[in-house]
């Protein structure tokens, strides 16, 4: 479904501030894989997502999505196949538009033959049905401005928008990091259910090692632009948080010193 072959990326190449963000990185995801990604700040996690999404062209290597070489495909042409959520709940939605207008934008993008004028009753019923699956009461607030929603409600709506038309791959870039623990748990449970129901190929960056081992079927650890650990199956099921931290030390030859990860190692 998704394959990165020997991908490298250096920012500010040829200058004193040159930074190699990805270093000959290769990765293959099968359809339906749900991969959690952990690593220190600067390990290259978000850079991988930006490479997949087309935010920049890679210096070397190839990227394939569902069998298509998208290495040089512009970002806007990849957007229809890729769903993405960011850490900031304010991204991904238009705050001055209503809930139904935000959903209509997604629906319009996926249905090119649809009229750009107005929202039909059939579409409104469809939006209500989808919103009801979130169990947040948003199906009764179609006319509410998105900017009035709480962070958790907005992130749940963004998740729905990213998956309402099933993407080929879903990229979750610390999408619960800005939420309080109780709300984060609710959004993670929604994520688990939506991904499972849609059999969506998913990559999730997280600083919570407990979540990295509990969610999905595979965990990847990155360091200095490379994948240093890739575990799944029974090996992953047996791993504890302390054991995973020890594996990082063994593979990277250094202790993990990212406070955000250590404080969330629950």
Task: Report pLDDT digits (tens) over 204-217.
Answer: 999 888 889 999 99
Share of the chain above pLDDT 90, in %: 67
Residue 116 has a pLDDT of 54
Residue 257 has a pLDDT of 59
Domains along the chain with CATH numbers: 2-262 (3.40.50.300)
Tell me the C-alpha distance between 24 and 7, whole Å: 5
pLDDT at 261 over 70: no
Two tokens at 194?
């939506």
- Burial class (CB within 10 angstroms; exposed 0-12, middle 13-18, buried 19+) of 42: middle
The answer to whether residues 88 and 175 touch, using CB atoms and an 8 Å cutoff, is no
Tell me the C-alpha distance between 167 and 235, whole Å: 29
Tell me the C-alpha distance between 158 and 160, whole Å: 5
Q: What pTM does this model have?
A: 0.89
Residue 44 has a pLDDT of 94
- Burial class (CB within 10 angstroms; exposed 0-12, middle 13-18, buried 19+) of 244: buried
Mean pLDDT of 37-43: 89
Tell me the C-alpha distance between 131 and 50, whole Å: 29
pLDDT at 258 over 80: no
């Amino acid at each position: 479904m998704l394959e990165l072959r020997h991908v490298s990326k250096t920012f500010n190449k040829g200058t004193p501030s040159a930074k190699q963000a990805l270093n000959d990185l290769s990765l293959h995801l099968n359809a339906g894989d749900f991969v959690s990604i952990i690593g220190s700040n600067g390990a290259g996690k978000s850079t991988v997502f930006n490479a997949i999404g087309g935010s920049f062209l890679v210096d070397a290597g190839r990227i394939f999505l569902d069998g298509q070489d998208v290495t040089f495909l512009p970002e806007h042409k990849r957007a229809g196949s890729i769903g993405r959520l960011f850490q900031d709940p304010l991204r991904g939605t238009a705050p001055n538009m209503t809930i139904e207008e935000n959903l209509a934008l997604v629906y319009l993008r996926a249905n090119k033959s649809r009229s750009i004028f107005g929202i039909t009753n059939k579409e409104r019923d469809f939006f209500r049905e989808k919103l009801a699956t979130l169990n947040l009461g948003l199906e009764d607030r179609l006319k509410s401005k998105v900017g009035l929603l709480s962070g958790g409600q907005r992130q749940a709506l963004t998740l729905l928008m990213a998956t309402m038309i099933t993407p080929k791959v879903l990229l979750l870039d610390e999408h619960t990091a800005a939420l309080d623990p109780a709300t984060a748990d609710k959004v993670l449970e929604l994520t688990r259910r939506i991904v499972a129901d849609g059999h969506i190929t998913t990559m999730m960056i997280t600083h919570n090692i407990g979540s990295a081992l509990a969610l999905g079927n595979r965990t990847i650890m990155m360091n200095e632009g490379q994948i240093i650990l890739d575990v799944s199956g029974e090996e992953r099921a047996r791993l504890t948080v302390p054991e995973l931290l020890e594996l990082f030390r063994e593979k990277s030859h250094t202790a993990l010193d990212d406070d955000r990860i250590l404080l969330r190692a629950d």
